Amino acid sequence: MTTALIVYGSSTGNTESVAQMIEKQLAAKGFTVTCKDVTATEIDELKKFDMVLLGCSTWGEEEIELQDDFIPFYESLGNAGLKGKKVAVFGCGDSSYIYFCGAVDVIEDRVKENGGLLIAEGLKIDGEPEDAREDILSWADEVGAAA
């Protein structure tokens, strides 16, 4: 059975909600899914999973800032054994900011630098996750199909 790890950093709970929707959808498709807050995740854990989904909201104003909890994890991604690993990135943001969901782009770049394989275009959620439920579930299906 294909195993998937979802790791999220979320300050107000939006990216966490998205992570949980993806978790349920992948589990319904037969994946063995583990969904964890980044603060409870060791970088070495990524090595044990067939596929890794990384979720992070975007902060900052003039420049892109990752969600606070996600920063140390991001900085250690070079030790995550990403070479050849199937990865996809998602996050919440607000399109009224200059860098809408910029954290998704920044994390994708880091994944590519470390040899990870991006299996879907990053999912960028504008506003309330509940309003984007259909998009989130179809993204999860796309990721599942590419796994």
Single out the residue of 36, 100, 114, 147 in contact with ligand FMN (rule: CB under 6 A).
100
Q: How far is residue 59's CA from residue 81's CA, in Å, rounded to a whole number?
A: 27
| Helix (H/G/I), strand (E/B), else coil: 81 | coil
Contacts of 51 (CB under 8 A, 6+ apart): 2, 3, 4, 5, 31, 85, 86, 87, 88, 119, 143, 147
**Min CB(133)–ligand FMN separation in Å:** 15
Nearer to ligand FMN, 102 or 116 (CB): 102
Nearer to ligand FMN, 50 or 65 (CB): 65
Single out the residue of 4, 41, 51, 58 in contact with ligand FMN (rule: CB under 6 A).
58
Single out the residue of 5, 6, 7, 10 in contact with ligand FMN (rule: CB under 6 A).
10
Give me the count of residues in the chain: 147
**Min CB(35)–ligand FMN separation in Å:** 14
**Helix 133-146 vs helix 14-28: crossing angle, to nearest 10:** 50
Any contact of residue 15 with ligand FMN (CB under 6 A)?
yes
Judged by the rule CB under 6 A, the positions of this chain that interact with ligand FMN are 10-15, 57-61, 67, 92-94, 97, 99-102
